[in-house]
Amino acid sequence: MMRFNRLQAGYQGRAVTPVVDGELASGSMTALIGANGTGKSTLLKTIAGLLPPISGNCELQIPRKALGWLPQRTELETRFPLTAYELVAMGCWPRCGWFGGINRGLRLEIDAALDAVQMREFADAQPSTLSGGQLQRVLFARLMLQRSQLWLLDEPFNGIDTQTVTLLMSVLEQQQQAGTTLLVVLHDRPLVARYFQDVLSLDNAASALTPQLRRVAS
């Protein structure tokens, strides 16, 4: 699904992450971990094509349109006047584009996605009135609409209630079973140990500059 060829990510020409080599298999679910400042989000943004790599590259075997990106909630303009329903409908973009209509079939899909994250009754609520956990559920529903083959999630469980974490983790597991590849930035180690078999750690930069993708405790 994804190959790192000595990829190093950073900002403004300055490298932040260690050099990353390795491969993510299709249908894998990997946690991207590391201490603060090791560049987890920077690496994820580089993979998503939002930042140019400092050196090396990352080969995706899917077109950009098949990529699902979950931003950190702080990067959203949550005061924009929009309903949760419309937010989920954004996920139709890869299929509808600039002008395509949102037909009955897609509307049913939107309803189903809102149901799956238990947010149907908040369809008319605006993001500014939702809690962090509720907004995250809606953003997951949007991702489901995109039907992406690769999900890149930037700190999805940061500051979110445990009930929502459990619900959204089950969404992730269902997606994986359906064949989606997942790469998730996390810093909650117990959560990683509980749910994730594959871990990409950016911590061992001091010992070796190329942390290989490794498998922990399975």
Partner 1 sequence: MTLIQPFIEFGFMRRALVACVALAISATPLGVFLSLRRMSLVGDALSHAVLPGAAIGYLVSGLSLVAMGIGGLIAGLAVALLSGAVSRYTPLKEDASFSGFYLGSLALGVTLVSLRGSSVDLLHVLFGSLLAVDNAAILLVGGIAAFTLLLLAVIFRPLVIDAFDPDFLRAQGKWSAPLVHGLFLMLVVLNLVAGFQVLGTLMSVGLMMLPATSARFWSRHLACMLGIAMLLAIVSAFIGLILSWHFSLPAGPAVVLSAAVLFLLSVLTGPCGGLLRR
Q: Count the alpha carbons within 13 Å of 4 in the hemisphere toward its beta carbon.
A: 26
Instruction: Provide CB contacts within 8 A for 1, sequence distance 6+.
Output: 24, 25, 26, 27, 28, 60, 61, 62, 149, 150, 181
Query: Is residue 97 classed as helix, strand or coil in its secondary structure?
Result: coil
Total site size for partner 1, rule CB under 8 A: 25
What would the x/- binding string for partner 1 be over residues 109 to 138, using CB under 8 A?
Answer: -----------------xx-----------
79 makes contact with partner 1 (CB under 8 A): yes
76 binds partner 1 (CB under 8 A): yes
Residue 156 in the binding site for partner 1 (CB under 8 A)? no
Residue 101 binds partner 1 (CB under 8 A)? no
The span from the CA of 204 to the CA of 212, in Å, is 10
Work out which of 25, 50, 108, 209 binds partner 1, going by CB under 8 A. Answer: 50
Position among 25, 90, 112, 209 found at the interface with partner 1 (CB under 8 A): 90
Binding site for partner 1 (CB under 8 A): 12, 45, 48-50, 64-65, 67, 69, 71, 75-77, 79-82, 87, 90, 93-94, 98-99, 126-127
